[in-house]
Amino acid sequence: MPELPEVETYIRELAPSLQGRRVLRARVYWPGVIAFPTAEEFETGLVGLRFTQFARRGKYMLLGLDDPRTLIVHLRMTGKLFLAPADTPPGKHEHVIFDLDGGESLLYQDPRKFGRMWLTPHPENVLAALGPEPLGPDFTAQYLHAKLAGRSACIKALLLDQHILAGVGNIYADEALYRARLHPGRAAGALHEEEVHRLCAAVQEVLRSAIDQRGSSLGLSNLQNYIRPGGEQGGYQEEHLVFRRTGQPCPHCGHPIERIVIAQRSSHFCPVCQPASGTLSQP
C-alpha cells in the first residue's frame, strides 16, 4: 500500500529517469482510472508535453509539465509506475501507458483499479482538502491536539483521515501508535497533551525512517506488494513492529500482537504496551 514514504520514494526514483522526457502518446486502457478530464481529453492533452518537475503532496504524486497543467497520480492500493521498452505489449493490469521519447514507455499498472489520475491546470483544487504534511512545519503536537479536541472517533481512524494530516495510511498509523504506546481504539479527544506529543513525534519518526528505507514492501502475494519503480523492494518492512504481525510476540514485552478492526481496517497492536486506558508500560 503506497503511503507517504512509498510515494516519496516513487518521486525520488522516477524523477531522474523522467526529467525532460517528452510524451509522444498516451494510451488509456481503463477509462475509470482518469478522474479528470475525460480519458479522451487526457490522451490528447498529454501529447507533446515534457516532464519538468516532480513533487509529492500526501499520497499524491505531482508530475509537472512544460504546460499549465499538472499530471497528478494517486496509486491508492496497488498502483505502480515503471519504465519499460517502448514495444512492451500492455499486460492485463496495465491501464495507462505513456510512450516517451528515447524508446521507453511509462506504464501504470494497477490490479485493483483503485488508483486515479488527473491532468489539470488547477492541482490545488484536487489537493484542497488535505491536512498538513506530517514532516512539514505545520504539523505540530499543538496542531494535532487542537484537531483531536472534542472528537469521539478512535485515534486510529483520525490518523487515517487525510483532512487532519496527509500521507499516513494503515501501516504507518499502526506503527506510530505502537511507538507512542497508544491503543488504536482510544477516543481521540481524550488523549492527554503528553500523549499527543508522543504520537506526533512517533508519526514523524516512523515516516522518516520509512523514507530512509525506501518504503515497505509487504506480503508474499505480488498483489499488495509495493515495488519501487526500478523493481526493487523497500526495506522498512523489516522494521515493522506490529503491522501484520498478529500472534507474534511484541518486541518489547513478548505478549502476542493482536488484531482488531477499526474504521473497517485492521489494526495491529500490543494489548500490554498499548492499553486501552490506565497505566502504561515503557517500551
Q: Which of 220, 247, 278, 279 forms a contact with DNA (CB under 7 A)?
A: 220
Q: For the chain, how many residues are written?
A: 283
Which segment (44-52, 220-228, 229-237, 250-258) binds DNA by CB under 7 A? 220-228
17: burial class by Cβ within 10 Å (0-12, 13-18, 19+)? middle
**What is the C-alpha to C-alpha distance for residues 198 and 4, in angstroms, rounded to an integer?**
20
Residue 32 binding DNA, by CB under 7 A: yes
Binding to DNA by CB under 7 A, coded x per residue (else -) over 62-81, reads: ------------x-xx----
Q: Which residues ranging from 225 to 264 are in contact with DNA (CB under 7 A)?
A: 244, 261, 263-264
Contact 234, 226 (CB under 8 A): yes
Out of 56, 57, 59, 116, pick the active-site residue: 59
- Minimum distance between the CB of residue 36 and DNA, rounded to whole angstroms? 11
Contact 117, 34 (CB under 8 A): yes
Residue 21 or 95 with smaller CB distance to DNA: 95
Contact 203, 172 (CB under 8 A): yes
Residue 112 or 208 with smaller CB distance to DNA: 112
Out of 3, 8, 43, 94, pick the active-site residue: 3
Residue with cell 512509498: 6
Residue 32 or 48 with smaller CB distance to DNA: 32
Q: Which residues ranging from 114 to 173 are in contact with DNA (CB under 7 A)?
A: 114, 129, 150-154, 157-158, 160, 162, 169-170
**What is the C-alpha to C-alpha distance for residues 243 and 245, in angstroms, rounded to an integer?**
5
* 23-28: strand order across its sheet: 23-28, 94-100, 104-109, 80-85
Distances from the Cα of 78 to the Cα of 64, 81, 109, 111, angstroms: 23, 10, 8, 6
- Minimum distance between the CB of residue 167 and DNA, rounded to whole angstroms? 8
Give the torsion through C-alpha atoms of 41, 58, 9, 141, to 10 deg: 170
Q: Is 2 a catalytic residue?
A: yes
Out of 25, 104, 265, 275, pick the active-site residue: 265
Q: Which of 19, 88, 112, 254 forms a contact with DNA (CB under 7 A)?
A: 112
Q: Is 3 a catalytic residue?
A: yes
Cell of 144: 494535532
Cell of 226: 509495493
Residue 9 binding DNA, by CB under 7 A: no
Q: Is 265 a catalytic residue?
A: yes
Residue 97 or 188 with smaller CB distance to DNA: 188
Residues forming the site for DNA (CB under 7 A): 1, 3, 32, 58-59, 74, 76-77, 92-93, 111-114, 129, 150-154, 157-158, 160, 162, 169-170, 188-189, 220-224, 244, 261, 263-266
